[in-house]
Amino acid sequence: MRQGCPYGSHRVLEPVGSLPQAAWKVDHTRPIYDNEMLIDVTTLNVDAASFRQFKETAEANVGAGKEKLEAEVGRLLMEVVNTRGKLQNPVTGSGGMLLGQVAELGEKVQGRDGLKVGDRLATLVSLTLTPLAIDEIKAVRLDADQVDITGHAIIFASGVVAPLTGDVGERLALAVLDVAGAPAQTARLVQPGDTVFIVGGGGKSGMMCTAMAREAAGVTGNVISMGHSDASCQRLAELDAADIILQGDATNALETMRQLEAATGGEKADVTINCVNIPDTEMTSILCTKPGGTIYFFSMATSFTRAALGAEGVGSGATMIVGNGYAPGHARVALNMLKTHAKLAEILTRMYL
């Protein structure tokens, strides 16, 4: 069996010498190397920012209409994978994760995580670095950011996976694990008594962060969660985890800051969690956070250049954290939330099952 690099550099085609995430093109062909796992893929959970961009492009190309949009989103996605050997949106740069079953284990990954051929799993590494081949797109679920396919993927020795035990529906588990880093990082950052502001609170990651912030901030904390649409704010109301629910446009930094200050008596956030799936919300997060506070940019729509230079421009000394989707134990934290937060589980089940 061929020998490979644990970080997957042996799969990089362009440019040679880079790692898979930064590469323009990777090799997704079989056979596998000794440190790889071959996965028969059934579902892709596309990153929210990426899926939104695919939908917007599809609508510009073919107009409205569910069937036309589904077909065009599928075509755009397939085009990217065929061109690059992986799913990395050329506009947002983001990917997602996948659901499938083990088809083959290389010699150096035998027995890893207790997995054997035939076991079901979800990957916890981005599709932007995962060699992927799609044979057929079977269904595009526009409201869930998920695409059912037949195809295969290759996971490197360094790639994190989550075996699926069957106690949570697979589609729901996939949706939750896709954003597992967000609530785990929220639990790390929020302290009892903190004022916490969640931007994009009515989406999947936003609701999970709102629920976790409520738990971490405690009864002395103040959790404010902001949604854009009526539907997202209704979900937040049903979740019943935020002290204050705001509705507004997160791209309007000054107006959002005024809304927050009006709702809190002039207080800004100790911790701001940005979970939006659209660009141009960096300054909103910065202006709504205390100068010595912390901002966690979980959103893959974030421009970190814009955030860094924007904070400098307004004299903010807030600590800004890149939204690393990995945190130790994050899969366990995310799945456990479905057991400990009944309202969250009910809402997400309705959305993804």
Same domain, residue pair 102 and 155: yes
User: Are 86 and 145 found together in one domain?
Assistant: yes
Strand ranges (DSSP E) for 145-284?
Answer: 146-155, 161-163, 195-199, 222-227, 244-247, 269-274
pLDDT at 169: 87
In a domain, 173, yes or no: no
DSSP state of 35: T
Helix (H, G, I), strand (E, B) or coil at 225: strand
Of 168, 195, 225, the one marking the end of a domain is 168
Residue 4, domain member (yes or no): no
pLDDT digits (tens, 9 = 90+) for 85-132: 999 999 999 999 999 999 999 999 998 888 999 999 999 999 999 999
Same domain, 208 and 158: no
Q: Is residue 226 located within the same domain as residue 153?
A: no
Choose one of 134, 168, 202: the last residue of a domain: 168
Instruction: Assess if residue 185 is contained within a domain.
Output: yes
Residue 232 lies in a domain: yes
Model pTM score = 0.85
Cβ contacts of 287 within 8 Å, gap of 6 or more = 253, 254, 256, 257, 314, 316
Listed range (95-104, 140-149, 298-307) with the worst mean pLDDT: 298-307
pLDDT single digits (tens) 186-233 = 999 999 999 999 999 999 999 999 999 999 999 999 999 999 999 999
Segment 238-262 mean pLDDT? 98
Q: Is residue 216 part of a domain?
A: yes
Average pLDDT rounded to a whole number, residues 255-262: 98
- Name the residue range of residue 219's domain: 181-352
Report DSSP state, residue 101.
E
Does residue 224 sit in the same domain as residue 157? no
Q: What is residue 29's DSSP assignment?
A: P
Boundary-marking domain end, from 140, 168, 196: 168
- Pull the structure tokens for residue 35: 């440190």
Q: Are residues 94 and 194 in the same domain?
A: no
Mean pLDDT along residues 1-22: 93
- Mean pLDDT, residues 58-72 taken together: 95
Whether the per-residue pLDDT at 299 is higher than 90: the answer is no
113 with 218, same domain?
Answer: no
Please write the tens of the pLDDT for every residue from 266-292.
Answer: 999 999 999 998 999 999 999 999 999
CB proximity list for 59: less than 8 A, separation 6 or greater: 69
Number of domains in the chain: 2
Flag whether 175 is in a domain: no
pLDDT above 90: percentage of residues in the chain: 87
